[in-house]
Chain A
Amino acid sequence: MNIIEILGKIGFDWRMALANLINFLIIFWILKRFAFAPIKRILRDREEKIKQSLEDARKAESERIMAKSNYEQKMIEARKEAENIISRAHAEGEAMIKKATMETEEKVSKMLADARDMIEREKKIMQRELESKTIDIAVLVAEKIIKKEIDPETEKKMIKELIVEN
């Protein structure tokens, strides 16, 4: 009694066994190729995608923080620059005012000097006129007092001497 006969007693037939095994192999192939592989792929893809998304979110967060600090830095710089500009403008304004004041002062003092000169000159002219008029009057007065005509030339000389003496 060989082993095949013994197995035959419990319903074994190698043809059926082989057929059933081949069927199982077909099922194995179908499941592997058309069910397990796609499921595996999609599970891995999803895992990958979730990982990627988390990574992206993390990156975005750090970028946001960096952008914020950048922004704050820029704001600080801008404020500093604005302050600089304002203080420079202040200084420039002051300098301009100073300059303008100085120029004005100069002009005024020049004008004053001119005016003084002019006054001096006028004064001199007037003095001279006053002199001659006074002489004329004096002559006239003297003429009337002494009622005596003298040569006008001598008269003038005398009066001049009188004036100088006085």
Chain B
Amino acid sequence: MFDFLTIDATTPSLQPPVVFWVGEFPVTSSFLMIVLVTALLVVFSVIIRRTLKMVPGKFQSSVEMLYEGMETLINQITRNKDVTDKIFPLIASLFVFVGISNIIGLVPGITSISWDGVGIFRSPTSDFNTTFALATAMVLLVQWVSIKDWGLFGYLGKFVQIKEVWQGFKKGIGEGSIAFINFLIGLLDIVSEIAKIVSLSMRLFGNIYAGEILAAIILGGLAYALPAVWMSMNIFVGIIQALVFGSLVAAYYTLAKRPGDNE
């Protein structure tokens, strides 16, 4: 009786559908969406490059405001102008890419474009492959920076604090015990480094994927008005998640550097 109020939306599958194969390589819908995002950003960059003026117009003012907002945010995390300058392009790219990826799926109709029965566009961040690859790359980068900063032995020494235990017990039982606890905490830090990858990738993937599933479920329940609320929530969540992802990478980077090292 009230069938017209519901739409049978298929909940998105965990793995993004493969649209077509190029040899052995599966071209997925999220991959195509990244290509689309890339194309959009290329156009955007070209426009910026062409229209940059000393006296900014409305468009340029907004872009500059965005730029300076990101710079301020990163600077609040690093608290060091040089570090900010160094990592700004990477973190800002994460903000922009993750942010656009999160909300581009909400553009009406874009996920409905299909070819051969398969939707060809899907939010890149609702694909675990993207978030996991990004998180892994970022955490590996942080490790690399840490090794470069502390030296290989300094880096390993942060996790395996044998030397400190030895020196602690030479001083006395009390200090030795504290050093032993620190040694165990150091070992746990190895886990926490791996946990960084998991938490970064899972948080982003979970938020966006869950958002899409819930959107489909709500469509199945009530196809009018209610999804609009949920969609606008998703815009908010998408931007927040992009900021969280980028900020966390910036924070990991800052923590990995030797304290007081104003490189």
Q: Once bound together, how far apart are the Cα atoms of A43 and B24, in whole Å? A: 46
Q: Once bound together, how far apart are the Cα atoms of A34 and B42, in whole Å? A: 8
Q: Once bound together, how far apart are the Cα atoms of A15 and B92, in whole Å? A: 26
Among A1-23, those with CB < 8 Å from B are 7, 10-13, 15-21, 23
Interface, chain A (partner B; CB < 8 A): 7, 10-13, 15-21, 23-24, 26-28, 30-32, 34-40, 42-43, 45-46, 49
Contact B26 A31 (CB under 8 A): no
Q: Once bound together, how far apart are the Cα atoms of A30 and B42, in whole Å? A: 7
Q: Which residues of B contact A17 (CB under 8 A)?
A: 129-130, 132-133, 136
Task: Name A43's contact: one of B45, B67, B129 (CB within 8 Å).
Answer: B67
Interface class of chain A by DSSP: helix
Q: Which residues of A contact B124 (CB under 8 A)?
A: 20
Interface, chain B (partner A; CB < 8 A): 13-16, 24-26, 28, 30-31, 34-35, 37-38, 41-42, 44-46, 48-49, 52-54, 63-64, 67-68, 88-90, 92-93, 96-97, 124, 127-130, 132-134, 136-137
Contact A31 B45 (CB under 8 A): yes
Task: Name A16's contact: one of B42, B46, B127, B137 (CB within 8 Å).
Answer: B127
Q: From B26, B41, B45, B124, name the one whose CB has the most chain A CB atoms within 10 angstroms.
A: B45
> Taking A26-B38, A39-B67 as contacts, is the C-beta distance between A20 and B97 under 8 angstroms?
no
Q: Once bound together, how far apart are the Cα atoms of A7 and B133, in whole Å? A: 12
Contact A13 B15 (CB under 8 A): yes
Q: Which residues of A contact B52 (CB under 8 A)?
A: 38-39, 42
Can you give 26 A-B contacts (C-beta < 8 A)? A7-B128, A10-B14, A11-B13, A11-B14, A11-B15, A11-B16, A11-B127, A11-B129, A12-B128, A12-B129, A16-B127, A20-B34, A20-B130, A24-B133, A26-B38, A27-B38, A28-B93, A30-B45, A31-B41, A31-B89, A32-B89, A32-B93, A34-B42, A34-B48, A42-B54, A43-B64
Contact A27 B37 (CB under 8 A): yes
Q: Once bound together, how far apart are the Cα atoms of A24 and B89, in whole Å? A: 13
